Structure 1
Amino acid sequence: MEFKNVVFNAARDGKLSKLKFFLEHRPSTEVHELLRTRIQGATPLLVACRNGHFQVAEYLITKCKADIELTGSVNFDGEMIEDAPPLWVAAAAGHEDIVKLLVEHGANVNSTTRTNSTPLRAACFDGHLRIVMYLVDHKADVEIANRHGHTCLMIACFKGHYEIAAYLISLKADVNRKSGKGNTALHDCAESGSLDILRLLLNNGAKMDVDAYGMTPLLAASVTGHAHIVEYLITLSSVSNRERIEALELLGATYLDKKRDFMEAARLWGRALDERERVGLLKCPHRSLILAFENSEEIQTRSDLERTMADPDAMRMQALLVRERILGPAHPDTAYWIRYRGAVYADAGDIRRCINLWMYALEMQQLMLEPLSVMTQSSLLSFAELFAYMLNKGITGTCDIGGDMLGIFRSCLKELENAPKEEHGKMAYHKMLLITLHMACLLVEYFRPRKSAPRAVLASLYKLLKMNAKGRDGNGSLHLAVSRESSTIGRYPICSFPNRSLVYHLLDLGTDVDARNDAGDTPLHVAARNNPSHAELLHILLKRGAHPDIRNSQGKTFSQILWEQSKETVNLVPFVSLQCLAARVVKDRCRPACIPPHLVDFVNQH
C-alpha cells in the first residue's frame, strides 16, 4: 500500500521523474494493477487530469497504457463527483491540452459520471468555451442531460456563460426542453439573473412555459429577487395583466423576507395595487382561515397598506399570504418562509405560534409531495429538534406539547407507510426511520414522569413495529435503537443512542429481540460492536430473551465481538438454557445427517 501511495502522490503532484523511477522497470501486470488502484476514490490518471499535469497524463497513457475510461471519485468545489471518467475531470478542470490528449487516444466524448453528466456538460458548467467547441467538433452530444434532466444549455444559462449559450443555440440546442421538474433554460436564466442570455433565448424561440410547480420564468425571477429580469419580462406583450401584477406582489414578498427591505416591498405592493385599479383587476378579499396565519387578511387598498406598514410583523404575514395565494401552500418557497417565520417566533419565545405555522407547512407537504420528500423530512426533523430543545430547557410547562409530539410521530409513520417498496432500506427511507425513532425517544422522554405513556402513544409505537421497517443494511428499529450511530441525524443533537427507554418500550411491545439484519447481526451483535461499554444494555437484551449463541454471517457470536472490541466478557450462565447446552454438544459431535430436520436451524445457531 505504501508503494501505491508513492505512485498516486507522484501523479497528483506532477512528479514525472519520480513516477518513471518507480514504474519504468516493473512488470506490465504490476504497473497495470498500480494504475487501477484508487486512493480516496481516484486513480493516478484521474488526479493528474484533475491537477493539469499534462506530461504525467501523457506518460501514463502512452507508456503505461493506463485505462482512459477507468472512473473514480474527484472533488470539485467541495462536492465529491462519483464515477467520473478522466475526460470529464479534465474538461471540468479546464485543462484543454489533457482533453485533447485523451480524445486523441480514443476517449469516449460522451462518457458520463454517476449522475449522467458528460464532459461537455462539465465544460459548460465552468465556462470553458474552447473545450466545449473542441468536444462538439469531436461528436459530443449537446442534448445529453444529467439524471435530473438538465441539459448543457440549461447549465450554461444558469451559470451565466453567454458565449457558450450562444454557441449551443447556434448548434440548434433545444431552447424549450424541460428538465425532470419541468423547468426550461428560461427558468434557469430567471433564477440566475442572466438578462442577456434570457433575451438571447427569447429571440431564438424560447417560450414562457411553467414548471412542475406551475412557476413561469417571470415568477421564478420574482422568487429569487432579480428585479431587472422581472422589469424586462413584464413589458412583454405575451405577459397578461394578472401575471404582471402577481410578479410585482411576489417580488415585494421577496424583498421583505430575503432582503429585509420593507420600504421596497411596500413600494412594489403599492405599485401592484395601482396596476390592479388601472386595469380593473381588483383583488378579491382573501382572509386566511388557517390558524397558523391567525385570520390575517391581505391588503386591499393603499390605506390598508399604509396601516400595515406600521406593524413589521403584519408586513411579514402579508408576505406569507402573498406566497400562499400565488405559489400555493406546498411550493418550496412558501414552505420555507413559513418555517423560517415559525423559527423566528420560536426564538422570540412564541412556541405555540411556531408550532402552528410548521404544522400547516407539514400538512401541505404531506398532501402535495411524494413520500420521503427531502422537504417533508426536513420539516419533520425541524420538529424533532424543536421538541428536543424544549425538553432539554424544561420549557414544556408553558406549552403542553404532548399532543403535538404524537401528531408529528404519526406524520413520520405516514411517510414510512406510504413509501414505495423499492425505497425501503435506501438512504431516504433510512433517514426517515431514524427521524421516526428520534421522535419516539422524545415521546417516551416526555411521558416518562407520568410513569407510563398514554395508550395512544403505545398504539403508535406498536404500529411502527408492525410495519417491520428496515433501514440501511436491513437494520430494524431495535438494531437502530441500540446503535450509537443512530445519534447523528441532523445539524443539532436530538436524542442520544443507544436509548434504554426506547429499547424497553420496543421490547415491551413485542419486537423480535433476535431479528437479523443483512449481515446476520442481531441487536446483541450491534450493541456489542458499537457500544462495548454498555454492559447494562446487553443485560437488558439477554434478560428479555436474546439468544446469546446466535452467530452472524461471519460466524461470530455477540460475545466474540464484545471481546474483540473491548476485551470484556458477559457472564452468560444465567442466560443459557439446557436446550442451548445440548445443541452445542450435538453440533460438535453429531454429523449433520443425524440431526432431525426440525432441529437443524436451532442447532446451527449454536
Structure 2
Amino acid sequence: MQEMDFKNVIYNAARDGKLRRLKVFLDHRTRDEVLMLVAAKTNGATPLVMACRNGHYDVAEYLIERCSADIEQPGSVVFDGETIEGAPPLWCAAAAGHLPVVRLLVRHGAGVNSTTRTNSTPLRAACFDGHFEIVEFLVEHGADIEVANRHGHTCLMIACYKGHFRIAKFLLSLGANVNRKSVKGNTALHDCAESGSLEILKLLIKHGAKMDVDAYGTVFNYSTASSLSLYGMTPILAASVTGHTHIVEYLIKLQDLVSHSERVNALELLGATYVDKKRDMIGALDLWKRAMDDRYNGFVKLPKPAQLATVAAYDNVREILDSSGLDDLLADPDEMRMQALAIRERILGPAHPDTSYYIRYRGAVYADAGKFNRCVALWMYALDMQQRILEPLNPMTQSSLFSFSELFSFMMGEQGRTSSRGRRVPPVGYADLASVFRKSIAEVEGGIAMLDKIPASGDKDATHLHRVMVISLHLACLLTRLMADLSKEQCHEIHLAVYRLSKLNVRDRLGCTVLHLACSRESSLVGRYPACQFPSASVAQALLTVGAEVDARDESGNAPLHLAGLARPCPPALARTLLDHGAHLDAVNAAGQTFQQLLKGQSLHEIVNPVRYTTLKCLAARVVKEKMIGYVGRVPASLESFVQQH
C-alpha cells in the first residue's frame, strides 16, 4: 500500500472513530513514521483535528498519548456548510460541543486562547452554539473573554446574537465589556436587538448598555479608494429593520435611553418593515399613526424634515405629513408601498443594505405581476444608488447587474407571450438595456482602479472583477440580438460602449481578455433564463469590429480561437468570425496545440474550409520552425514571434 493510501486510511479511521483500525496501521511503526502520518493533512485536516471535530475521545487520546500528535496543529473543518480555516483541535472540539475532548486537550496543554485564521477562540466557538459547560470550563482554565475575531465581534456579542441567555449572563457576571464596539461599530445591544431576544436585551441594559450608534453606512471615494462613514444605526433601528416589534415596544418606553426622534423613527421604520416584510398594511398604518401622533401631539413638536425632491422610481410620492392623509392610504396599497420605500431611505440612508434590498424586492414583485416598466425603474434607481455609494465590485452591485441580465433575458425569451398574471411580456427597451450595459462597464472600470491601488504584495482577488466582466458580456450579447431592428445611430452607440469595454484591456485571473471570455463556454452565466449562450459569435464580432486583439494570449498561451475549439462543440460562425479577422488556424498554444487539435468530436472541415484560411506566410513560418533549428537571430526580429506562434 502506498504512503498516500496509508494517510487516507488513518485520516478516515480518525474521522469515523475507528480506534482498532487506527492501531492496526500505527502500532507497529517507528516513531518517525507515526509522527509523519499523524501530522499529514487530508482535505486540509489532520487525524487529530477530525477526531476532535467529531468527538471521538478514545481516538483523540490515542493520537495524543501514543502517537504524540501536535495538539496545536490546525486544520480546515466544516461547520454548517462553512469551511473554517486554521482551526486548532481545541477550537474544533469546543465548537462541536464535545466537553470530554475539550478536557482531554486542555489537560495535555492545549492553548485555551489559540485562534483560527479569523482570530476566533475556542471560547467564542462554544459561545456561538451555546455550549455553556464548555464556556465555564474554558474560562476556569484561563480563556480570555474579551478576545474578538477579526471583525471585532466578542464572545458576549455572539452569545447575544445567538440568543444564549445563560452564557450572556455568565459573561456579564465576569465583567464582559457591555459597550465594546466591533470594527463596524455595533455593540452587543445591536446584536441582541437584531436577533430579537428581549430577555437578554433587558440583561444588557441592566448592566449599563448604551444606545450607541454604529458606523454601518459608508460612501466609497473613487479617487482615494477609501470609505467614509455616512450614518449610524442604533439598536432600536436594528430591531425595527428586522421587524422585532416586542424589542421596539420595550425600548421606546425607556425615555432615558431612547430620544424623541429615535422613538419616532423606530415606529416609522417598523411600519415600513410591516409593509414590505410582513405584508401587514393595517399594522403598518397603526404604527405610522402612532409616530405621527408622537411627532405633533407631544410636549415637543417634531415635524418631518422637508422633502426637497421626489423620486421618479417611487412614482414621485411625497411622504404624508398628517393623520388624515394616512387614512387614505388603505385605499391605495401601491402608494403605501412607495411610502414605505421613501421612509426607509430617509431613515436608513442609501448605504444601508436594506434600502436597496427592498427597492429591488418591490421591483421583483412588479415584474412577477407583469409590470416590467415599474420593475426596471426601481432596479435602475437601486443600481444607481449602489454605484454611487458602495465600493466597486461590491456583491450587492453585482447582484443588481445579474438580476438585470436575468430580467432582460426572460423578457427576450418570453416576448409577446402572456405571463402567468395574464399580461403580455413587452419587448426589452433598447435604452434600458444600453443604460445597464454602460453601468456594468463603469463597474469594471471602477474595479480596475480599485485593484490597481492595492500594492503588489496585497491580496488582489480578481474573482469579482471576472464576474462583472462576464455579466457585461451577457448584456452585450442581449444588445447584439436587438441590432437588426435598431437605427444606425443606436448600433453606433452599442459599438462605442463595446469599444469602451475592450479598450480597458482588462485581464481576468487566468489572463483572459474580454474576447477570450466571449469565446469561452465558461462565460455562461448560471441563470434561470439563458437567452444568450457562450461562446457567442455575435459578441466576438462586436469586439473585433471595435479593434479587439484577435491573437491575444491568456496564461496558457491560448488565443480566443483556441478557447473556441475547447467549447464542445465549437460554433462554426464563431470560428469563421475569428479567422475572418486575422486569427491563425495553425497557431499553437503553450502546450503546442492548434485549434484543430483541440476539437473533440468535430471535424475541422465541418467548421471551416482550412484551405481558405491557410496562407503562404503561415506555411513558411511552420517550415522555418520545423526545419531551421535555432532560427532566432537568423530571421528578422519582427518575424520571430510570428514564427513562434506556429
Fold similarity call, TM over 0.5: yes
| Contact kept? 1:483, 1:531, Cα under 8 Å | no
CA RMSD of aligned residues (A): 2.8
**Cα drift, residue 417 of structure 1:** 1.0
| Structure 1 residues 576-587: aligned runs within 5 Å | 576-587=614-625
Residue 590 of structure 1 aligns with which residue? 629
| Contact kept? 2:551, 2:560, Cα under 8 Å | yes
Residue 401 of structure 2 aligns with which residue? 380
Structure 2 residue 645 is the aligned partner of structure 1 residue 605: yes
Match for residue 439 of structure 1 among 466, 475, 484: 475
- 1:358-397 Cα offsets, whole Å, 9 max, x none, are 1111111111111111211111111111111111111498
The alignment-based identity, stated in percent, is 57
| Contact kept? 2:210, 2:257, Cα under 8 Å | no
Q: Judging changes above 3 Å, is the alpha-carbon distance between structure 1 residues 483 and 161 closer, same or farther for their aligned structure 2 residues?
A: same
Structure 2 residue 545 is the aligned partner of structure 1 residue 508: yes
| Structure 1 residues 563-574: aligned runs within 5 Å | 566=601, 574=612
In structure 1, how many angstroms separate the alpha carbons of the residues matched to 2:385 and 2:413? 29
Residue 56 of structure 2 aligns with which residue? 53
| Contact kept? 2:411, 2:425, Cα under 8 Å | no
| Contact kept? 2:415, 2:426, Cα under 8 Å | no
Match for residue 495 of structure 1 among 529, 532, 537: 532
In structure 2, how many angstroms separate the alpha carbons of the residues matched to 1:188 and 1:585? 72
In structure 2, how many angstroms separate the alpha carbons of the residues matched to 1:569 and 1:36? 52
Task: Give the secondary structure class of the aligned counterpart of 1:52.
Answer: coil
Q: Judging changes above 3 Å, is the alpha-carbon distance between structure 1 residues 438 and 8 closer, same or farther for their aligned structure 2 residues?
A: same
**Cα drift, residue 456 of structure 1:** 1.1
Which range moved further: 380-389 or 126-135?
126-135
Structure 2 residue 238 is the aligned partner of structure 1 residue 220: yes
One-letter identity of the residue aligned with 2:189: L
Residue 89 of structure 1 aligns with which residue? 92
- 1:2-39 Cα offsets, whole Å, 9 max, x none, are 55443333222211111212333345555455445544
In structure 2, how many angstroms separate the alpha carbons of the residues matched to 1:448 and 1:135? 71
| Contact kept? 2:537, 2:573, Cα under 8 Å | no
In structure 1, how many angstroms separate the alpha carbons of the residues matched to 2:76 and 2:183? 25
Which range moved further: 438-447 or 277-286?
277-286
TM-score, normalized by length of structure 1? 0.91
Which range moved further: 586-595 or 354-363?
586-595
| Bigger helix fraction | 1
Match for residue 493 of structure 2 among 448, 456, 471: 456
Q: Judging changes above 3 Å, is the alpha-carbon distance between structure 1 residues 587 and 7 closer, same or farther for their aligned structure 2 residues?
A: same
Residue 12 of structure 1 aligns with which residue? 15
Q: Unpaired segments of 5 or more residues in structure 2?
A: 218-231, 417-423
One-letter identity of the residue aligned with 1:475: C
In structure 1, how many angstroms separate the alpha carbons of the residues matched to 2:49 and 2:613? 55
In structure 1, how many angstroms separate the alpha carbons of the residues matched to 2:464 and 2:595? 33
Q: Judging changes above 3 Å, is the alpha-carbon distance between structure 1 residues 343 and 592 closer, same or farther for their aligned structure 2 residues?
A: same
One-letter identity of the residue aligned with 2:500: K
Residue 78 of structure 2 aligns with which residue? 75
Match for residue 556 of structure 2 among 505, 519, 522: 519
Structure 2 residue 441 is the aligned partner of structure 1 residue 413: yes
| Contact kept? 2:406, 2:528, Cα under 8 Å | no
| Contact kept? 1:513, 1:546, Cα under 8 Å | yes
- 1:119-174 Cα offsets, whole Å, 9 max, x none, are 22211111112322333444444333333332222211110112322333344433
Match for residue 103 of structure 2 among 91, 100, 114: 100
Q: Judging changes above 3 Å, is the alpha-carbon distance between structure 1 residues 425 and 539 closer, same or farther for their aligned structure 2 residues?
A: farther
Which range moved further: 134-143 or 459-468?
134-143
In structure 1, how many angstroms separate the alpha carbons of the residues matched to 2:525 and 2:636? 44
Q: Judging changes above 3 Å, is the alpha-carbon distance between structure 1 residues 174 and 474 closer, same or farther for their aligned structure 2 residues?
A: farther
Which range moved further: 489-498 or 568-577?
568-577
| Structure 1 residues 463-502: aligned runs within 5 Å | 463-490=500-527, 493=530, 495-502=532-539
Runs of 4+ with >6 A deviation: none
One-letter identity of the residue aligned with 2:543: L
Residue 257 of structure 1 aligns with which residue? 276
One-letter identity of the residue aligned with 2:593: T
- 1:175-203 Cα offsets, whole Å, 9 max, x none, are 33332322222111110012232233233
| Structure 1 residues 122-137: aligned runs within 5 Å | 122-137=125-140
**Cα drift, residue 489 of structure 1:** 4.1
Q: Judging changes above 3 Å, is the alpha-carbon distance between structure 1 residues 561 and 25 closer, same or farther for their aligned structure 2 residues?
A: farther
| Contact kept? 2:86, 2:116, Cα under 8 Å | yes
Q: Judging changes above 3 Å, is the alpha-carbon distance between structure 1 residues 113 and 549 closer, same or farther for their aligned structure 2 residues?
A: farther
**Cα drift, residue 549 of structure 1:** 5.0
Residue 311 of structure 1 aligns with which residue? 332
Structure 2 residue 219 is the aligned partner of structure 1 residue 180: no
Aligned residues: 604
| Contact kept? 2:550, 2:583, Cα under 8 Å | yes
| Contact kept? 2:48, 2:60, Cα under 8 Å | yes
| Contact kept? 1:434, 1:489, Cα under 8 Å | no
Which range moved further: 381-390 or 126-135?
126-135
Q: Judging changes above 3 Å, is the alpha-carbon distance between structure 1 residues 316 and 125 closer, same or farther for their aligned structure 2 residues?
A: same
Match for residue 323 of structure 1 among 329, 332, 344: 344
Task: Give the secondary structure class of the aligned counterpart of 2:77.
Answer: strand
| Contact kept? 2:518, 2:536, Cα under 8 Å | yes
Q: Judging changes above 3 Å, is the alpha-carbon distance between structure 1 residues 441 and 103 closer, same or farther for their aligned structure 2 residues?
A: farther
One-letter identity of the residue aligned with 1:342: G
In structure 2, how many angstroms separate the alpha carbons of the residues matched to 1:595 and 1:28? 62
Task: Give the secondary structure class of the aligned counterpart of 1:281.
Answer: coil
Which range moved further: 5-14 or 300-309?
5-14
Q: Unpaired segments of 5 or more residues in structure 1?
A: none
**Cα drift, residue 69 of structure 1:** 3.8
Structure 2 residue 250 is the aligned partner of structure 1 residue 232: yes
Q: Judging changes above 3 Å, is the alpha-carbon distance between structure 1 residues 352 and 49 closer, same or farther for their aligned structure 2 residues?
A: same
In structure 1, how many angstroms separate the alpha carbons of the residues matched to 2:103 and 2:204? 31
In structure 2, how many angstroms separate the alpha carbons of the residues matched to 1:101 and 1:20? 20
| Contact kept? 1:431, 1:489, Cα under 8 Å | no
In structure 1, how many angstroms separate the alpha carbons of the residues matched to 2:125 and 2:409? 43
| Contact kept? 1:292, 1:353, Cα under 8 Å | yes
Q: Judging changes above 3 Å, is the alpha-carbon distance between structure 1 residues 315 and 594 closer, same or farther for their aligned structure 2 residues?
A: closer
Task: Give the secondary structure class of the aligned counterpart of 1:417.
Answer: helix
TM-score, normalized by length of structure 2? 0.86
Match for residue 394 of structure 1 among 415, 420, 442: 415
**Cα drift, residue 474 of structure 1:** 2.3
Residue 299 of structure 1 aligns with which residue? 320
Q: Judging changes above 3 Å, is the alpha-carbon distance between structure 1 residues 484 and 281 closer, same or farther for their aligned structure 2 residues?
A: same
Q: Judging changes above 3 Å, is the alpha-carbon distance between structure 1 residues 32 and 479 closer, same or farther for their aligned structure 2 residues?
A: farther
| Contact kept? 1:345, 1:354, Cα under 8 Å | yes
One-letter identity of the residue aligned with 1:191: E
Residue 369 of structure 1 aligns with which residue? 390
**Cα drift, residue 556 of structure 1:** 3.1
Task: Give the secondary structure class of the aligned counterpart of 1:518.
Answer: coil
Which range moved further: 380-389 or 449-458?
449-458
One-letter identity of the residue aligned with 1:227: T
One-letter identity of the residue aligned with 1:590: I
